[in-house]
């Protein structure tokens, strides 16, 4: 791992990414994620992209410092597991969506990078 300004660039992987195959409009659903990582200032975010390529994002609030607007997980070759809810609004477009889970690292103070994608997984789901 490279060290820059006392920051170790994180490494890791998504071990588990579970969410329902069918998401119902007007309901809240849960996503369950488990990662293994080594690094500071990590956080997780779920992205859903509809058939028109419009995106909605839902962060794992337990991994985000809302005041600083950045990652707060510090893992040393450890696993982190969490689940959180997200709504599918009643006016959401029906059809096939891309669900993308990303693990990111905030790289405070580096001259060229602000946020790095460490690992991700994606799958197709249906909104009905």
Is the CATH number 2.40.10.10 carried by domain 11-127? no
Q: What is the pLDDT at residue 114?
A: 76
Task: Give the model confidence (pLDDT) of 20-67 as tens digits.
Answer: 999 999 999 999 999 999 999 999 999 999 999 999 999 999 999 888
Q: pTM score > 0.75 for this model?
A: yes
Q: What is the mean pLDDT of residues 2-14?
A: 75
Q: What's 46-114 look like in SS3?
A: EEEECCCCCEEEEECCCCEECCCCEECEEEEEEEEEEEEEEEECCCCCCEEEEEEEEEEEECCCCCCCC
Domain boundaries, the chain: 11-127
CA–CA distance, 13 with 38 (Å, rounded to integer): 10
């Amino acid at each position: 791992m490279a060290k820059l300004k006392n920051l170790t660039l994180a490494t890791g992987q998504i071990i588990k990414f579970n969410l329902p195959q069918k998401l119902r409009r007007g309901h809240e659903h849960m996503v369950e994620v488990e990662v293994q990582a080594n690094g500071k200032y990590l956080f997780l975010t779920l992205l859903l992209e509809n058939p028109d390529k419009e995106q909605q994002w839902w962060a794992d609030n337990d991994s985000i410092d809302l005041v600083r607007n950045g990652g707060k997980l510090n893992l040393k070759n450890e696993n982190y597991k969490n689940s959180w809810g997200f709504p599918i609004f009643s006016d959401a477009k029906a059809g096939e969506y891309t669900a993308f889970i990303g693990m990111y690292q905030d790289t405070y103070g580096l001259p060229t990078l602000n946020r790095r994608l460490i690992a991700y997984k994606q799958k197709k789901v249906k909104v009905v």
